[in-house]
A and B are shown apart, each in its own frame.
Chain A
């Protein structure tokens, strides 16, 4: 049982961090960013390049992933999403654009970083073994703690900084925020950059554990969408809750259902369908949007 909880918490922390960026972008701009997984992959490859190719410390790689993905996110918002949102009132326009960006990033990643699985050396050696009740490598514990620290940092940023308050105001009511003097264009761009940066940071963190390859983008996006469906789209606390719930469900399923084959995600998807039929707005979402 202890092992299931430890695995669930570790998975939940990384999932929550992935979902945060996606829900932030959705709350600010009403955009379903299908390219979120590709941004995660790009972040992983940037860290890999900095650490394994240039031989620089892991923290430099992580910072590079954050900076590059923030820049990519800002550019995507300014030059692609902002003009489309301005010209088209149809929500599917931004969805199609996001899907197009996902395909484009996949192609760019293949061209620049190649088809191979990549990874960086372990940042910590050794395994915690608590009387065989919890077995957890130290690097996973560190990554889990870092992910939780980043989630806490993000919450504090959103709660106590001017930019955070402005973005929360935008998420609540875009027009009211504009009338109150919030620079909507600027904070939309900052929000998108922050969302992309979070995706890049998780990619950079996890490249030390799971490695990275170009095919990981799509499945990562799907999991992120599941998390925000569980927690409620556009709600930050919902994304965190969704991440930890999914992580815990996965951990429980993989341990208790292993004897029946790979039915964990079948059970998760079936549970999600039933849950959404009862509560379509998710745990913390509001039915009116």
Chain B
């Protein structure tokens, strides 16, 4: 075959495949759901697990023939934008979503990004589901943001109380990265610990996210001899190193965080030193996972080669968006209808065993229902896997 005919046949094949793809997609109308979050740089794991969770669920639904809303089957398309953890980029991402006519967006992943996109979302009729904790995002007059997970000021007190009652914890120390999210989570944690009557023995030590040796960082903290060391807002990249350094310095107390972690990362980075580490998880521990959750994990692993345990908490946002639109189809293009549906919305939680429900909560923390109800699953790491320590409900 000469070069010209090879080029011709390649071009024809490409055109034919594109036409076929076009036809395949033309069968169902498309419902676009956006994602604006960090998928590059040091915090990429947070956003990538978000995006891949959405893409896995969308592919799964599309494979089943689409998602039915008001008698019509829709193919779900995820439109993703990497904000590089930069608020300016997050704004650009939300503007892109608005230009694409998208009304529902998952993300951003961090506080400043979530705060920055608020005006764009409100002006363009976009509901967004940030993984960020500032209360003003969810408290009136704000009304377009829905907290996509359990906040640290909700999980922290529950964890500390459990450890006080079950492990006799009295003295607590906090360590945080010198960034807005971890620092605000630390402040919230300190407040919660003091409110419970715990003695806060150290709360001023912070570190750079690119620290390569945590021994000098942790030494003054360990010298205060806490019963519990809280790694506030710790990223999965830093958690194993901090745990390892603390144990190598001879610390024998408890270590916890209010962020989600990945078991493989902990095992590789800290090995058995991470045993006993307490973190917030989702619904994939064997005790809680439903068949649907197990299938989700299988599909994710097949699509992307490896599952990320952080997705246990990130599997929910897309489900909430779709189920709420299904409950009130007028919400497809009108977020005010979505807000109306939120007050009474309830659907079965497909990812947990038992009769768990999907519903909106947040009245206690925000004065209005602007948070997805996900179980507060507190895990403990043991020999390369998470075990459920306890489960609680928020609101």
> Could you tell me which A residues sit within 8 Å of B by CB distance?
3-4, 7, 10-11, 14, 52, 106, 110, 114-122, 127, 129, 135-137, 140, 206, 209-211, 213-216, 218-220, 223, 250-251, 254-255, 258-262, 265
Question: By the criterion CB–CB under 8 Å, are B212 and A14 in contact?
Answer: yes
**Given A11-B212, A209-B213, are A261 and B249 neighbors across the interface (CB < 8 Å)?**
no
Tell me which residues across on chain A come within 8 A of B271, comparing CB atoms: 121-122
Question: By the criterion CB–CB under 8 Å, are B44 and A120 in contact?
Answer: no
8 contacts between A and B (CB under 8 A): A7-B215, A11-B212, A115-B44, A115-B48, A215-B42, A216-B210, A254-B217, A260-B204
User: Which residues of chain B from 301 to 358 have a CB within 8 Å of any chain A CB?
Assistant: 305-306, 308
Question: By the criterion CB–CB under 8 Å, are A116 and B262 in contact?
Answer: yes
Question: By the criterion CB–CB under 8 Å, are B216 and A219 in contact?
Answer: no
Question: By the criterion CB–CB under 8 Å, are A10 and B213 in contact?
Answer: yes
Which of B39, B178, B248 lies in contact with A127, CB distance below 8 A? B248
Q: How far is the CB of A104 from chain B (nearest CB, A)?
A: 13
Question: By the criterion CB–CB under 8 Å, are A261 and B206 in contact?
Answer: yes
Question: A-B pairs with CB below 8 Å: how many?
Answer: 114
Question: By the criterion CB–CB under 8 Å, are B250 and A135 in contact?
Answer: yes
Task: Compute how far the CA of A210 lies from the CA of B333 in the bound complex, rounded to whole angstroms.
Answer: 48
Q: Does B269 contact A (CB under 8 A)?
A: yes
Task: Compute how far the CA of A58 lies from the CA of B49 in the bound complex, rounded to whole angstroms.
Answer: 30
Question: By the criterion CB–CB under 8 Å, are A215 and B217 in contact?
Answer: no
Tell me which residues across on chain B come within 8 A of A14, comparing CB atoms: 212
Question: By the criterion CB–CB under 8 Å, are A220 and B216 in contact?
Answer: no
Closest to A220 in B: B210
Question: By the criterion CB–CB under 8 Å, are A120 and B268 in contact?
Answer: yes
Question: By the criterion CB–CB under 8 Å, are B219 and A3 in contact?
Answer: yes
Q: How far is the CB of A250 from chain B (nearest CB, A)?
A: 7
**Given A117-B265, A211-B268, A262-B206, are A250 and B45 neighbors across the interface (CB < 8 Å)?**
no
Tell me which residues across on chain B come within 8 A of A214, comparing CB atoms: 40-42, 44
Most B C-beta atoms less than 10 A away, residue of A11, A116, A216: A116
Q: Does B20 contact A (CB under 8 A)?
A: no
Question: By the criterion CB–CB under 8 Å, are B44 and A127 in contact?
Answer: no
Tell me which residues across on chain B come within 8 A of A136, comparing CB atoms: 215
Tell me which residues across on chain A come within 8 A of B178, comparing CB atoms: 261-262
Task: Compute how far the CA of A279 lies from the CA of B307 in the bound complex, rounded to whole angstroms.
Answer: 52
Most B C-beta atoms less than 10 A away, residue of A3, A117, A118, A206: A117
Q: A209-B213, A255-B220, A258-B217 are in contact. List 6 more A-B contacts (CB 8 A).
A: A115-B49, A135-B219, A136-B215, A137-B248, A210-B212, A214-B44
Task: Compute how far the CA of A178 lies from the CA of B305 in the bound complex, rounded to whole angstroms.
Answer: 51
Q: Does B240 contact A (CB under 8 A)?
A: yes
Question: By the criterion CB–CB under 8 Å, are A116 and B265 in contact?
Answer: yes
Task: Compute how far the CA of A271 lies from the CA of B104 in the bound complex, rounded to whole angstroms.
Answer: 48
Tell me which residues across on chain A come within 8 A of B365, comparing CB atoms: none
Question: By the criterion CB–CB under 8 Å, are B240 and A4 in contact?
Answer: no
Question: By the criterion CB–CB under 8 Å, are B216 and A114 in contact?
Answer: no
Q: Does B208 contact A (CB under 8 A)?
A: yes
Closest to B42 in A: A215
Task: Compute how far the CA of A56 lies from the CA of B349 in the bound complex, rounded to whole angstroms.
Answer: 44
Question: By the criterion CB–CB under 8 Å, are B205 and A258 in contact?
Answer: yes
Tell me which residues across on chain A come within 8 A of B359, comparing CB atoms: none
**Given A114-B306, A211-B240, are A254 and B250 neighbors across the interface (CB < 8 Å)?**
no
Which of B45, B48, B208 lies in contact with A117, CB distance below 8 A? B45
Question: By the criterion CB–CB under 8 Å, are A213 and B237 in contact?
Answer: yes
Most B C-beta atoms less than 10 A away, residue of A254, A259, A260: A254
Task: Compute how far the CA of A215 lies from the CA of B90 in the bound complex, rounded to whole angstroms.
Answer: 19
Question: By the criterion CB–CB under 8 Å, are A117 and B236 in contact?
Answer: yes
Question: By the criterion CB–CB under 8 Å, are B216 and A7 in contact?
Answer: yes
Tell me which residues across on chain B come within 8 A of A120, comparing CB atoms: 268
User: Which residues of chain B from 262 to 277 have a CB within 8 Å of any chain A CB?
Assistant: 262, 264-265, 268-271
Tell me which residues across on chain B come within 8 A of A4, comparing CB atoms: 216
Question: By the criterion CB–CB under 8 Å, are A215 and B216 in contact?
Answer: no
Question: By the criterion CB–CB under 8 Å, are B40 and A127 in contact?
Answer: no
For B240-283 the 0/1 string (1 means CB < 8 A from A) is 11000000111000000000001011001111000000000000
Q: Does B59 contact A (CB under 8 A)?
A: no
Task: Compute how far the CA of A266 lies from the CA of B240 in the bound complex, rounded to whole angstroms.
Answer: 26
Question: By the criterion CB–CB under 8 Å, are A127 and B213 in contact?
Answer: no
Q: Does B69 contact A (CB under 8 A)?
A: no
**Given A209-B213, A215-B43, are A129 and B237 neighbors across the interface (CB < 8 Å)?**
no
Which of A117, A122, A220 lies in contact with B237, CB distance below 8 A? A117
Q: Does B162 contact A (CB under 8 A)?
A: no
Question: By the criterion CB–CB under 8 Å, are A265 and B208 in contact?
Answer: yes
Closest to A121 in B: B271
Tell me which residues across on chain B come within 8 A of A218, comparing CB atoms: 41
For B128-170 the 0/1 string (1 means CB < 8 A from A) is 0000000000000000000000000000000000000000000
Closest to B213 in A: A11
Question: By the criterion CB–CB under 8 Å, are B210 and A255 in contact?
Answer: no
**Given A110-B40, A219-B210, are A211 and B216 neighbors across the interface (CB < 8 Å)?**
no
Task: Compute how far the CA of A250 lies from the CA of B211 in the bound complex, rounded to whole angstroms.
Answer: 10
Question: By the criterion CB–CB under 8 Å, are A216 and B208 in contact?
Answer: no
Most B C-beta atoms less than 10 A away, residue of A52, A135, A215, A265: A215
Closest to B216 in A: A254
Closest to A120 in B: B268
Task: Compute how far the CA of A129 lies from the CA of B205 in the bound complex, rounded to whole angstroms.
Answer: 23
